[in-house]
Chains A and B, each alone.
Chain A
Amino acid sequence: MTIKKLVVTMSVWIAAITGLHLWLNFDWESFLNDSRPEAERKLNVAYIPVT
């Protein structure tokens, strides 16, 4: 495998893993909410799975 091919393969792999992480694990809803002005922000309400 040439250096160029190796670099391209690794770049694609890193991009794919990063994309999957951002898609599956990153809390976009909270991130976008925290970016809004305070008056427009949704309230974060904490709960535990107990009555």
Chain B
Amino acid sequence: MFLPKLFQGFPEIKEALIANRMQAGFLGAPMAIALRSQGVPIKIVYLGHRYGSAFVVSKDGPIHTVRDLAGKTIAVASRFSDERLIVGRALRANSMSESEVKMVEMAPPDMASALSSHAVDAFVTGEPFPSQAELGGYGRVLFFAREYWPDYISCVLVVRDDVIERRPEAVQMLVDGIARSGLWLDEGKAHREYAAEFVGRYYYQQPPRILRWALTHPMDRVTYTPLSPTRPDFDLIVDLMVQAKLLDQRLEFEDYVDPRFAEHTTTLRSWQFEPGND
């Protein structure tokens, strides 16, 4: 029913969705909302996960608090990324403004090496790149997203409007599968370790030990329930986007979210699969 396609950045996914080469995809929530506001025919139908983003600095560097970031260069995936909004929240919580730091855009897979070579002073992105920097011995987590943003959302599942209209059963199957996988992942460490193995080898093409670290140190570093898109979560993102001048005006929840598919997931149970029994 589905063909997963690996991309290296959100901008490429955006172009593929617009061109209908991809019918669905995972995007950062602000980018999805911005695209919708620009008239791109997509809707958010579900979340990919909660939390899972971290702000990383050089392990032996001079940055030990958010206030030490004054004058420093921070890599973000895109100005339309949740992580960029997190930087703003962290700075404001420490009585600073965004004009006191320099933010540069960079593809997430390049961030850890940029930190290691001192091309940037810090980066903020989703796992497993913070874990990669930690395990590589050159990165240290300054803060996790949850410290400045309770119930933080990053990746969301978007689907083209024409697919929602013509093939709602396929969209429901996709959402149900993600919901059941999320329940399964949140059942314990053994499930996460197993997921790290096969996702690392067959989907992410990354060393499983990095994913194992990202999924289990600590266990709530990334969570996979609850994943239904809710109005308060998205109202906050829209407010932050307006504040950051990423949106000219507020959008209503119904304009960019189709919650029908998520409503069906509330009665689902996790996949019945135990590692070692395959």
Report A's interface with B, CB cutoff 8 A: 29-30, 33, 38-39, 42-51
Nearest Cβ on chain B to A4's Cβ, whole angstroms: 45
Write out the residue numbers on chain A whose beta carbons fall within 8 Å of the beta carbon of B21.
44
Judge whether B26 and A46 touch: CB under 8 Å.
Answer: yes
Judge whether B1 and A51 touch: CB under 8 Å.
Answer: no
Main secondary structure of the interface of A (DSSP, over half): mixed
Q: Please count how many residues in chain B sit with their CB below 8 Å of the partner chain's CB atoms.
A: 45
With the chains together, A50 CA to B25 CA distance in Å? 13
The 8 A CB mask of B1-32 against A (1 = contact, 0 = none) is 11111111110010011000111111000000
Judge whether B222 and A51 touch: CB under 8 Å.
Answer: yes
Question: Is residue B126 within 8 Å, beta carbon to beta carbon, of the partner chain?
Answer: yes
With the chains together, A29 CA to B17 CA distance in Å? 19
Write out the residue numbers on chain A whose beta carbons fall within 8 Å of the beta carbon of B10.
48
Question: Is residue B205 within 8 Å, beta carbon to beta carbon, of the partner chain?
Answer: yes
Nearest Cβ on chain B to A42's Cβ, whole angstroms: 5
Q: Which of A30, A33, A38, A45 contacts B25 (CB 8 A)?
A: A45
Q: A43-B167, A45-B24, A46-B24 are in contact. Are A51 and B49 (CB under 8 A)?
A: yes
Nearest Cβ on chain A to B86's Cβ, whole angstroms: 14
Question: Can you give 29 A-B contacts (C-beta < 8 A)?
Answer: A29-B3, A30-B5, A33-B3, A39-B166, A39-B167, A42-B1, A42-B2, A43-B2, A44-B22, A44-B24, A45-B5, A45-B23, A45-B25, A45-B174, A46-B5, A46-B25, A47-B4, A48-B6, A48-B7, A48-B13, A48-B26, A49-B109, A49-B204, A50-B125, A50-B126, A50-B127, A50-B129, A51-B49, A51-B154
Nearest Cβ on chain A to B75's Cβ, whole angstroms: 13
Write out the residue numbers on chain B whose beta carbons fall within 8 Å of the beta carbon of A39.
166-167
Judge whether B3 and A51 touch: CB under 8 Å.
Answer: no
Q: A42-B1, A46-B22 are in contact. Are A51 and B214 (CB under 8 A)?
A: yes
Write out the residue numbers on chain B whose beta carbons fall within 8 Å of the beta carbon of A50.
77, 108, 125-129, 155
Nearest Cβ on chain A to B37's Cβ, whole angstroms: 20
The 8 A CB mask of B175-218 against A (1 = contact, 0 = none) is 00000000000000000000000000001111000000010000
With the chains together, A11 CA to B53 CA distance in Å? 53
Q: Which of B3, B8, B53 contacts A48 (CB 8 A)?
A: B8
Q: Which of B7, B127, B214 contacts A47 (CB 8 A)?
A: B7
Judge whether B49 and A43 touch: CB under 8 Å.
Answer: no
List 5 tightest A-B contacts by C-beta distance, closest first: A46-B25, A51-B52, A50-B126, A49-B204, A51-B127
